Amino acid sequence: MAKHSTFALDLEISKAWPGLLESTFALDLEISKAWPIFLKWRNRWLQASAWCSWFITFDCNSKLLSKGP
């Protein structure tokens, strides 16, 4: 599921900023050659922050819905 949502996000980013993902991929490739462990931890941090933001959004929305009009 995470890969699917990441793909959808990448698609939206590529529509808004053409060429950004290609340059990011090239940069990631260079970084992975120099510091292989860096990308592994960066990806884990990005996944964790995405889950946290989703949870916060879900929690805020459920609190708003529970208050009613």
* Phi, psi of 49, deg, nearest 5: -70, -35
pLDDT at residue 46 tops 50: yes
Report the alpha-carbon distance of residue 28 to residue 34 in Å, rounded.
10
pLDDT at residue 36 tops 50: yes
Contact (CB, 8 A) for 19 and 27: no
> pTM of the full predicted structure?
0.28
Residue-averaged pLDDT of the chain: 68
pLDDT at residue 2 tops 50: no
